[in-house]
Amino acid sequence: MRVTPCQAALAGAISLNLLLLFCAWRGPGRSPASCRPPRGVPGVTVLLRDFEDFDNDLAGTARSFASLPVPVLVAAEAAPYPPVPLPAGVRLLPLHPVADQPPPLAHPELHVRTRHVALVPDGTRAVPGLLERMRDTLERGPGDTRLVAAPVGSVPLRCLELQLEPRVWTARYGTGAPGVCRAVEGTAVLLLRTRDLFTLPFPLARPVPTAIFVQAVLRGWGLRVVPAAFPASRRPPVSPHNHWKAENLAESRRRRLMRDLGIKREVLADGRERWYGCGKETARCFGTVHARTPQYLLAGRWTPPCCLRALRETARHVVGALEAAGVRYWLEGGSLLGAARLGDIIPWDYDVDLGIYQEDMGKCRWLAAAAAGEPVEDAEGFLWEKAAEGDFYRVHYSRSNRLHVDLWPFYPRGGVMTKDTWLGHPQDVEFPESFLQPRVPMAFAGFTAMAPNNARAFLELKFGPGAIENPEYPNPDVKRLGQD
């Protein structure tokens, strides 16, 4: 009997369907190994990832673990240069995509065949049985255990608490209770299931420990520490130049990692802080705001902490300049709302708004200069300019970082404060001048600013009843608070 290609294809399709049906029938609890992706062979593959091209112990570390013997893989963007004489059997996993090759990590099981993988710091020496002990700790630990750490060298690991607050772009470390770690301080070998490692969006990002701890916390993975240590190799002292080079590279890698992980502020266990967001020399963290809804709100996040800090600094600077010049100003709109609610900028706001008496403008030399037409940078690098959108003024954090304070000139007419430019926002309305007679001091953004008397009545006139008690995003038609 001759089989046509069409019949063959049909037979193939039927067999595949029968196989799928069989898998479904066996149910998820009892699914046979043949219906799942391969789980790998028992064992631990050593991955060497954190090392410097120009100064490393790669050959020694690889040789030590390869002699156990376990599979050893060197993962690097490209082959180390200058070349490293790797022992026989130790392979290189190039991570940088190359146009005529398959994507490097599309099929990690092609590179790592074992069920477990250990991320081993450069300069570590193998100890027979310790990788297996780590693996047993992982598999026999409490149900949430997905990560095991062991120290390298004579210093024990320090257990740290780690909390992530993605909405405010923050990672917060603390002193962990004994036995409960989310991260460790100190050089460590990290062991996890191969499958787990390669389900992470950044499986081999550097620095490896930070990248793994953060992604593990986001998934609720438990971390166990094994006290037994791997020895560290004795290495010649690093030259000052290489030390400097390594520090610089480490810093730029840390910045890249934080950008990838969406972290702009780390609060360390000792209270120190590390900032990764915008500064005076950089651009603002978010682009032009459309429909009063900045892009971070659409991404389910609030104002980056670096931006809030720069806004506070700009507001304090502008208020200082206005007060020194005798310009009467007051907290307006969302800024007054923030002052009334929490004495600060609303945590999702993107600018600061101040009203000013139009007739006072000439008293401030920077405002007068901006009104004359040209943007002007003051002595501290803040940029004052007339807004392109109408008769109001902006003071930017710097020429490159356009976080700003808006200054809205009002003038009295028959006991009512009015102005010439209206942007059509619901809160953009005239109000009785009596709110400014007198103005009153109010805590705002870490200093004291002047505000309309009876802030509540002023805010309810502008935003409607209950404005202080019922927070809402600037444009609920686009995105509402609590929608995430």
Interaction partner, residue 334 (Zn ion, Mg ion, none; CB < 5-8 Å by kind)? Mg ion
Which ranges of 262-357 does DSSP label H, i.e. alpha helix? 295-298, 305-325, 333-342
Instruction: Tell the smallest beta-carbon distance from residue 171 to Zn ion (Å).
Output: 16
Closer to Zn ion by CB, 312 or 479: give it.
Answer: 312
Interaction partner, residue 294 (Mg ion, Zn ion, none; CB < 5-8 Å by kind)? none
Question: In the 8-state DSSP scheme, what is residue 230?
Answer: B
Under the binding rule (CB under 5 A), the answer on residue 50 touching Mg ion is no
SS3 422: coil
Which ranges of 374-414 does DSSP label H, i.e. alpha helix? none
Instruction: Tell the smallest beta-carbon distance from residue 406 to Mg ion (Å).
Output: 7
Residue 160 pairs in a beta bridge with 175, 183
- What count of other Cβ atoms lies within 10 Å of the Cβ of residue 235? 12
Q: Which H or E element spans position 389?
A: none
Token pair, residue 406, equals: 């808006």
User: Among all residues, whose Cβ is closest to Mg ion?
Assistant: 334
Q: Which stretch binds Mg ion (CB under 5 A): 10-18, 345-353, 371-379, 424-432?
A: 345-353
Under the binding rule (CB under 5 A), the answer on residue 351 touching Mg ion is yes
Q: Which stretch binds Mg ion (CB under 5 A): 62-70, 146-154, 349-357, 382-390?
A: 349-357
Instruction: Tell the smallest beta-carbon distance from residue 453 to Mg ion (Å).
Output: 21
Interaction partner, residue 117 (Mg ion, Zn ion, none; CB < 5-8 Å by kind)? none
Closer to Zn ion by CB, 134 or 285: give it.
Answer: 285
Q: Which stretch binds Mg ion (CB under 5 A): 65-73, 231-239, 299-307, 351-359?
A: 351-359
Closer to Mg ion by CB, 171 or 405: give it.
Answer: 405
Under the binding rule (CB under 5 A), the answer on residue 385 touching Mg ion is no
Interaction partner, residue 307 (Mg ion, Zn ion, none; CB < 5-8 Å by kind)? Zn ion
Closer to Mg ion by CB, 61 or 303: give it.
Answer: 303
Residue numbers of the site for Zn ion (CB under 5 A)? 277-278, 285, 304, 306-307
Task: Give, as ranges, the residues between 309 and 338 that touch Mg ion (CB under 5 A).
Answer: 334
Interaction partner, residue 48 (Mg ion, Zn ion, none; CB < 5-8 Å by kind)? none
Instruction: Tell the smallest beta-carbon distance from residue 427 to Mg ion (Å).
Output: 9
Give the amino acid at 239: S
Residues 6+ away with beta carbon under 8 Å from 161: 173, 174, 175, 176, 177, 180, 181, 182, 183, 269
Which ranges of 46-171 does DSSP label H, i.e. alpha helix? 58-66, 130-140
Instruction: Tell the smallest beta-carbon distance from residue 329 to Mg ion (Å).
Output: 15
Contact predicate 400/281, CB 8 Å: yes
Instruction: Tell the smallest beta-carbon distance from residue 285 to Zn ion (Å).
Output: 3
> Torsions phi, psi of 260, nearest 5?
-65, -40
Closer to Mg ion by CB, 304 or 334: give it.
Answer: 334
Instruction: Tell the smallest beta-carbon distance from residue 458 to Mg ion (Å).
Output: 15
Contact predicate 146/196, CB 8 Å: yes
Closer to Mg ion by CB, 241 or 480: give it.
Answer: 480
Task: Give, as ranges, the residues between 235 and 294 that touch Mg ion (CB under 5 A).
Answer: none
Residues 6+ away with beta carbon under 8 Å from 272: none
CA separation for the pair 122, 113 (Å, rounded):
22
Instruction: Tell the smallest beta-carbon distance from residue 467 to Mg ion (Å).
Output: 14
Interaction partner, residue 353 (Zn ion, Mg ion, none; CB < 5-8 Å by kind)? Mg ion
Interaction partner, residue 336 (Zn ion, Mg ion, none; CB < 5-8 Å by kind)? none
Residues in the interface with Mg ion (CB under 5 A) total: 3
Report the residue from 57, 196, 266, 353 that binds Mg ion according to the rule CB under 5 A: 353
Q: Which stretch binds Mg ion (CB under 5 A): 20-28, 85-93, 352-360, 394-402?
A: 352-360
**Rounded (10°) CA dihedral 10, 13, 14, 20:** 180
Residue 24, Cβ density class (10 Å: 0-12 exposed, 13-18 middle, ≥19 buried): exposed
Instruction: Tell the smallest beta-carbon distance from residue 283 to Zn ion (Å).
Output: 9
Instruction: Tell the smallest beta-carbon distance from residue 272 to Zn ion (Å).
Output: 19
Closer to Mg ion by CB, 351 or 433: give it.
Answer: 351
Interaction partner, residue 147 (Mg ion, Zn ion, none; CB < 5-8 Å by kind)? none
CA separation for the pair 396, 402 (Å, rounded):
5
CA separation for the pair 265, 172 (Å, rounded):
8
> Torsions phi, psi of 405, nearest 5?
-105, 130
Give 420-424 contacts, CB < 8 A, sequence gap 24+.
420/390, 420/391, 421/389, 421/390, 421/391, 421/392, 423/389, 423/390
Token pair, residue 146, equals: 């997905």
Q: Which stretch binds Mg ion (CB under 5 A): 189-197, 340-348, 353-361, 423-431?
A: 353-361
Angle at 288 between CA 287 and CA 290, to 5 degrees: 120
Instruction: Tell the smallest beta-carbon distance from residue 351 to Mg ion (Å).
Output: 4
Chain residues that interact with Mg ion, rule: CB under 5 A: 334, 351, 353
